[in-house]
Amino acid sequence: MNSGFNQPGRSAQTAQAQDAQEERNDQQGQPKVPVTTVPQTLTPQPTSDTGLKIDVKDTNFYYGSKQALYEVSLPIRERQVTALIGPSGCGKSTFLRTLNRMNDLIPNTRVEGEALFDGENIYDKRTDVVLLRQRIGMVFQRPNPFPKSIFENVAYGLHVQGKKGKQVEEMVERSLRGAALWDEVKDRLKSSALGLSGGQQQRLCIARALAVQPEVLLMDEPASALDPIATLKIEELVTELVKDYTIVIVTHNMQQAARVSQFTGFFLSGKLVEYAATRDIFERPKKKETEDYISGRFG
Ligand SMILES: Nc1ncnc2c1ncn2[C@@H]1O[C@H](COP(=O)(O)OP(=O)(O)OP(=O)(O)O)[C@@H](O)[C@H]1O
């Protein structure tokens, strides 16, 4: 598969600097100045006809009486990266959390609709959420390692599953390799995870999620707290991981969506405005709202 990093005429450093400028404009409340109307990326293309991993249909979501998602229907394709983009507060994270029932932890919330995961409805009251969250792992915005050793962080879920000894050691190594962290930590597995850099901590959290062998990885702005180099490593990792996992990533960074994803959903005010192959979203959006957003005319 294409690495997704090849951007003719735009080095990684330039890309990151441009992203950083966009972000600064965002933070200062200035209108977004689009770096390029259409990101000059070689977005990795969808790999042939891939199956559906999760089929979300007509999802509504409520925080108390406040509705946050309206009739959202979105296919999540197997072994592809689906990016969710849209302005702050449009419901991206809420939607992501419906997929592994993390919203259940927020009192007084309600979901309607259907999200078929291998034919079973994720929202069904009978769904075993512990098992669901093993199969659909999650990585959060800020790295959140446990105050334990590097080894223990990755082994945690395996111990919960009752695994022991050599098997755990092997799976920890495999997960750390999978998260592109092994070489950096193999000589200090017993050291505290809190001594790692932010980027290493985030890759450790990815290793922790991988250890229990999920099928799907949900990533909620996984690089937003990281510096440009650490961000690049996460993006590289995503393009590697998608060979084995189905990935859904929330990002406020459109360039990042264009670099790493094959499919993109654009959300606005709790509604899915447009969903398509990433290249089509950025080069040939069908809806005016999508075009306005990706060209920086609002948001
Ligand atoms: N725990 C909560 N209780 C009540 N309302 C919430 C809660 N979390 C989110 N909301 C509201 O739901 C809407 C969608 O929020 P959400 O965090 O999903 O948006 P988002 O697109 O991920 O935003 P951002 O990019 O800023 O993270 C917003 O109006 C938000 O204020």
What DSSP element (H or E) covers 163?
none
Residue 123 CB neighbour total at 10 angstroms: 20
Determine if ligand 1 sits within 6 Å of the CB of residue 84: no
Determine if ligand 1 sits within 6 Å of the CB of residue 252: yes
Cβ burial, residue 87 (10 Å; 0-12/13-18/19+): middle
Q: What is the pLDDT of residues 213-262, one digit of tens each?
A: 999 999 999 999 888 998 999 999 999 999 999 999 999 999 999 999 99
CA-closest residue to ligand 1 atom 26: 88
Mean pLDDT for 168-179 is: 95
Determine if ligand 1 sits within 6 Å of the CB of residue 106: yes
CB 84 within 8 A of CB 250: yes
Q: Which atom of ligand 1 is nearest to the CA of 252?
A: 25
Which residues are within 8 A (CB) of 124 and not within 5 positions of it... i.e. 6 or more apart?
Answer: none
Say whether pLDDT at 21 is over 90. no
CB 243 within 8 A of CB 258: no
Cα–Cα distances (Å) from 181 to 86, 176, 184, 196, in that order, read 31, 5, 5, 11
Q: What is the pLDDT of residues 41-67, one digit of tens each?
A: 445 555 555 689 999 999 999 999 999
* pLDDT: which is higher, 210 or 11: 210
Q: Nearest 5°: phi and psi at 163? A: -80, 150
Residue 289 CB neighbour total at 10 angstroms: 17
User: Where do the domains of the chain lie, and which CATH numbers do they carry?
Assistant: 49-145+214-294 (3.40.50.300)
CA of 239 to the centre of ligand 1 (A): 27
Task: For a ligand 1 pocket test, name from 59, 67, 94, 104 the mutation site with the most ligand atoms within 8 angstroms of its C-beta.
Answer: 94
Grouping H, G, I as helix, E, B as strand and the rest as coil, residue 145 is coil
CA dist 196 and 213 (Å) reads 23
pLDDT of amino acid 299: 52
CA of 80 to the centre of ligand 1 (A): 25
Q: Which atom of ligand 1 is nearest to the CA of 64?
A: 4
Instruction: Return the amino acid letter for 235.
Output: E
CA-closest residue to ligand 1 atom 31: 89
| Cα end-to-end distance, the chain, whole Å | 32
Determine if ligand 1 sits within 6 Å of the CB of residue 93: yes
- Whole-model pTM: value is 0.85
Which residues are within 8 A (CB) of 180 and not within 5 positions of it... i.e. 6 or more apart?
Answer: 203, 233, 236, 237, 240
Determine if ligand 1 sits within 6 Å of the CB of residue 94: yes
Q: What is the CA radius of gyration of the chain?
A: 19
Grouping H, G, I as helix, E, B as strand and the rest as coil, residue 121 is strand
CB 253 within 8 A of CB 244: no
Determine if ligand 1 sits within 6 Å of the CB of residue 90: yes
